[in-house]
Structure 1
Amino acid sequence: MALNQDHFSLLPETLLITILSLLSLKDAVKTSILAKQWRNLWRFRTNVEINDRHFLTINNNGNHEHQNDEPDQMQNLKKLQQVACINFGYRWLQNQTNSPSISSFSLTFSDPQNYQFNIESFIYLALLRQTKSLKLDFSCLNSEAQLPLNNSSTYVGRFDLPQFVYEYKSLESLKLVSCVFRVDKFMYLGRTLKSISLGWIEITDESILRKLVKNCPLLESLIVSKCFKSTIYVIESKSLKTLIIDKCVDLLALSVIAPNLTCFKYCGSFVQFGLSNFPNLERADVDFGLIEMFDEEDGDKIAPLLSKFYFARSLTVCSYISQVLFYNDQVFPLALRLRGRPLVNNLTIKTAFHPSEFNGIYLLLDTYPLLEKLQFEFGQPTIFEEDLALLGHDMYETLWSEEPSRNGCVTNNLKVVEIKGFRGSVNEFKILIFLITYGRALQKLILKVAENNRNAEILATILRNTAMQHRNALNVVVIS
């Protein structure tokens, strides 16, 4: 067989369509130029995607590229582009008439009010093809960069879920963004649902999520992102395995009873957490990136919160946790150890490598004795330097010059350290020298270098030489 022969073209079309179904729509369309056989093959993908963003001219800010033109001119251009998207959708769905079913149907459209009949037709045709996954996104063009604050009315209530969707009994996955739904109508639809994702939706009261989950006895995954109005979320489920609460700005209290939960992610402000024990938990991610004001009392609440993730093997914490632990540096490790040794063996710390985070980082290393892998993710979190100074704490007084606790992970189990966005700053070196000096089990150091850092290899050599002074050779890997 010739070496330059196209082996993909030898595969049956059914297999090629399956491969194309695993690609994004843009990548799948690009294959049409490969050969004559591939020209229309992407149209028969089993996952149908209609997205007006692929037709609208959008700038980097998520707005229409011609928004500064004359209003009538811009609206006429946008209308022409959306009509082209509608026609594309009809042609694609007509190609599916010979297919017994489609695996998923995704519709993203920024002006559903003006095309309600067309949108309902698309959804109806998708359900007629026995789709298992339905994704409806009617958010504004720039919604990804926004939070649901005072302008929430602009982003919600843009489309009502049609009645025939509630009567569909074979759906396994449902995603609704800026879409109004009736939770009391989920009696039939919810019987088969295993995954629900809600975004930019007005949750009017605390009973909504409780009723939704109750009507979905098989539910395994629940994502609530940028929803608002209700200040209390109550979630109770025996089947739920993944729960993600993301940037729900009005939220004040979160209650979760889910004994089979394996993944918990939270991003938002510091709220009142009422979490049950999660004996099957594998991963936990807590990010208080929306906090705007420093509250020293949060330090007393961190330990009880993290103790709920006692069984998790992987834990991710944010910079705010490292900063606020100044105020609980004596009781924080003890509060977790009262139940024994936490099982976390993979810890990720989001950090700016600022001195105000150092004591908190030190305490986290002391609290998780079974830790084998430590990851630092460099970013630009809010640093409350002035608040700490006003409260009389010397943030430049750190523990890196002292020998670590014998009960912590550094001297016993820590094997791998990784920094994402390594810049070679003085503060990064302080932490790394500490870990190299006292990390008896340390085997590997991974430095994923930030852009425009030309001194990475020189810095890596310095770290290798430092390691040689304390133990055998340390494997330092530099990734540009």
Structure 2
Amino acid sequence: MAPFENRLSLLPETILITIVSLLPIKDAVRTSILEKQWRYLWRSIPHVEINERLFATPLTGFDQQHSNIKLKGQNHKFIREFHFLEFGLKWLLHEKFPIPSFSLTFSNPQNWEDKIEKLIRLALKRNTKSLELDFSCLSWEEKLPLADSTLEKFDLPNFVYYYTHLESLKLVSCRFMDDKFTTIGRTLKSVTLAWVSIEDVSTLRRLLLSCPKIEYLSLSKCFDETDYVIESNTLETLVIDKCVDLLSLTIVATNLINFKYCGEVVQFGIIVSDKLQTADLDFGFVGMFVEEHGEQIVRLLDCLSPARSLIVSSYVMQVLPLVDVNPARNHARNLTIKTALHELEFEGISILLDSSPLVEEVGFEHGEHIIFEEDMAYYGYYAPTSPLTYWDRLIPSARGCVPNKLKVVEIIGFQGKPNEFNLLSNFVKYGRALKKLVLRAANKIGEEIAICMKDFAEENNAKFKVQVTSQDGVIYEGTQVKEVVQVI
């Protein structure tokens, strides 16, 4: 064998295709320049992703033959879109073997309906089980809330509704007819809808009734309808993300395992079972502080009390102190709090800890959050007069005590600030079962202070370990820590 022979190319073509299929599509296409044998391997990738966001301005065909012509404005855009869609069609026409999944991302479908429908038809003929159609624009995220019928740029072709092998469907900015899901819905296990209109309260009910095997449902940035009613005995994961017009959410899902909600505080009516594993509540989208939100969130927490893992945002910590009745005790073993570690969150944190007696791991994601200081003052709630001694004044028998089973405390975004020290000292002082502190530094200062804390704990034979992760993701251990400490 020659010393510089490419051994990788000696592998069977089936293995090479497997290797190429593990790469992002942009990198997979680039392998075509390696050797003659690799030129068309990428076309055999079973998972077809045609994404204009990864598609560079073409320099072939028309562009090469007319290099002296300056393409501007709409002409340039037209040619680029033409080459993009032709690229997809050639890919699907090249091979005839089945493709497990087909994904198309294209922000201007209005003038290309025929080509897009041809792409979809070819994908279905190749027995795809996963279909993703995304016609949204990246800029939309920055302009929320958006609610306009023009956001639905493309109608799902009629022939798709009669396809009988689809297990996963994702429609983004793609109008659909919920009363036509009788056939396609029989095999669907996963449905994702984003930037689409939910026309009326019965839309989701009809959709779910047509999908007897559905396990995953995601509704993101949907609009129009104000009341969502979601009933399913098979649904395992439900995601509701920034649905702008939503006012009430009713869920009856006795098989639900994972629930994630991001948006405004609405009227919640939720029935789940002990199967619930994860509940993630993000109210970072809230733009106005309302006192009544406290009672609504407490009722929501009570409904989700079976969850083994609970994730909550800063707003929850701010409204809890305004409620006369605290949340019922939950069954969470893992608790994650997204917080600014502001004094106005302290009492809410202590209330939540007191409601989580079974917690074994607590994580604080320290970051920037809106603190409604003026609004809370309007309702008569002020920060502790001496915030740095707040946790010291809490004794184990008082509200906010450290759960007896707590083993791990983690701060993500550790900055080495007084409020962080004060909070940690409370866990160290009253954490009977505490075994580990994990400090993930947000900056160089936080990193250096965390290393000093680790070194101090080791020198004093603390009953717990301190793990430090730098802002670059490096874990400091042993002599490496000591060397860094000596430098600072």
**What TM-score do the two structures reach when normalised by structure 2?**
0.87
* 1:37 Cα offset (Å): 3.8
**Is this contact kept in 2: 1:369–1:408, CA < 8 A?**
no
Letter paired with 2:74:
Q
Secondary structure (helix, strand or coil) at the match of 1:260 reads coil
CA distance in 1, matches of 2:56, 2:30: 19
CA distance in 1, matches of 2:119, 2:51: 12
Runs of 5+ unmatched residues, structure 1: 58-71
CA distance in 1, matches of 2:278, 2:5: 45
Closer, same or farther: CA 360–213 of 1 in aligned 2, 3 Å = same
Aligned twin of 1:347: 335
Aligned twin of 1:278: 273
Which residue of the other structure, out of 193, 201, 204, is the alignment partner of 2:196?
Answer: 201
* 1:56 Cα offset (Å): 6.0
Aligned twin of 2:416: 424
Bigger shift: 158-167 or 393-402? 393-402
Secondary structure (helix, strand or coil) at the match of 2:183 reads helix
Closer, same or farther: CA 264–7 of 1 in aligned 2, 3 Å = farther
Secondary structure (helix, strand or coil) at the match of 1:349 reads strand
Which residue of the other structure, out of 387, 394, 398, is the alignment partner of 2:375?
Answer: 387
Letter paired with 1:161:
L
Closer, same or farther: CA 279–144 of 1 in aligned 2, 3 Å = same
* 1:390 Cα offset (Å): 2.4
**Is this contact kept in 2: 1:372–1:416, CA < 8 A?**
yes
Which residue of the other structure, out of 435, 444, 451, is the alignment partner of 1:443?
Answer: 435
Matched ranges for 1:2-17 at <5 A: 8-17=8-17
CA distance in 2, matches of 1:470, 1:238: 52
**Is this contact kept in 1: 2:265–2:296, CA < 8 A?**
no
Closer, same or farther: CA 2–308 of 1 in aligned 2, 3 Å = farther
CA distance in 1, matches of 2:340, 2:280: 18
Closer, same or farther: CA 96–384 of 1 in aligned 2, 3 Å = same
Aligned twin of 1:93: 92
Bigger shift: 170-179 or 294-303? 294-303
CA distance in 2, matches of 1:274, 1:3: 69
**Is this contact kept in 2: 1:366–1:405, CA < 8 A?**
no
Letter paired with 2:467:
V
Pair 1:458-2:443 in alignment? no
CA distance in 1, matches of 2:37, 2:433: 56
Pair 1:410-2:416 in alignment? no
Pair 1:185-2:191 in alignment? no
Bigger shift: 289-298 or 239-248? 289-298
CA distance in 1, matches of 2:458, 2:467: 10
Aligned twin of 1:42: 42
* 1:23 Cα offset (Å): 3.3
Letter paired with 2:391:
W
Closer, same or farther: CA 473–128 of 1 in aligned 2, 3 Å = closer
Matched ranges for 1:8-407 at <5 A: 8-55=8-55, 73-97=72-96, 99=97, 101-149=98-146, 152-156=148-152, 158-328=153-323, 331-332=325-326, 335-337=327-329, 342-397=330-385, 398=387, 399-406=390-397
* 1:411 Cα offset (Å): 5.2
Bigger shift: 34-43 or 105-114? 34-43
CA offsets per residue over residues 222-257 of structure 1, 9 Å max, x none?
A: 000000010000011111000000000100000111
Bigger shift: 406-415 or 283-292? 406-415
> 4+ runs of 1 displaced by more than 6 Å?
1-7, 466-470
Aligned twin of 2:62: none
CA distance in 2, matches of 1:7, 1:272: 62
**Is this contact kept in 2: 1:418–1:447, CA < 8 A?**
yes
Secondary structure (helix, strand or coil) at the match of 1:336 reads coil
CA distance in 2, matches of 1:3, 1:365: 64
CA distance in 1, matches of 2:38, 2:406: 51
* 1:376 Cα offset (Å): 1.3
Secondary structure (helix, strand or coil) at the match of 2:110 reads helix
* 1:7 Cα offset (Å): 6.3
**Is this contact kept in 2: 1:230–1:251, CA < 8 A?**
yes
Aligned twin of 2:426: 434
CA distance in 2, matches of 1:33, 1:366: 61
**Is this contact kept in 1: 2:353–2:403, CA < 8 A?**
no
Secondary structure (helix, strand or coil) at the match of 1:248 reads coil
CA offsets per residue over residues 357-396 of structure 1, 9 Å max, x none?
A: 1111111111111111111112222110111222222213
CA distance in 1, matches of 2:275, 2:4: 51
CA distance in 2, matches of 1:202, 1:447: 43
State the superposition RMSD in angstroms: 2.4
Count of residue pairs brought into register by the alignment: 454
**Is this contact kept in 2: 1:55–1:82, CA < 8 A?**
no
* 1:466 Cα offset (Å): 6.2
Secondary structure (helix, strand or coil) at the match of 1:114 reads coil
CA distance in 1, matches of 2:401, 2:17: 49
Letter paired with 2:372:
F
CA distance in 2, matches of 1:237, 1:271: 21
**Is this contact kept in 2: 1:433–1:466, CA < 8 A?**
no
**Is this contact kept in 1: 2:305–2:331, CA < 8 A?**
yes
CA distance in 2, matches of 1:290, 1:276: 24
* 1:94 Cα offset (Å): 1.7
* Identity of matched residues, %: 52
Bigger shift: 236-245 or 403-412? 403-412
Aligned twin of 1:65: none
CA distance in 1, matches of 2:74, 2:254: 51
Closer, same or farther: CA 440–460 of 1 in aligned 2, 3 Å = farther
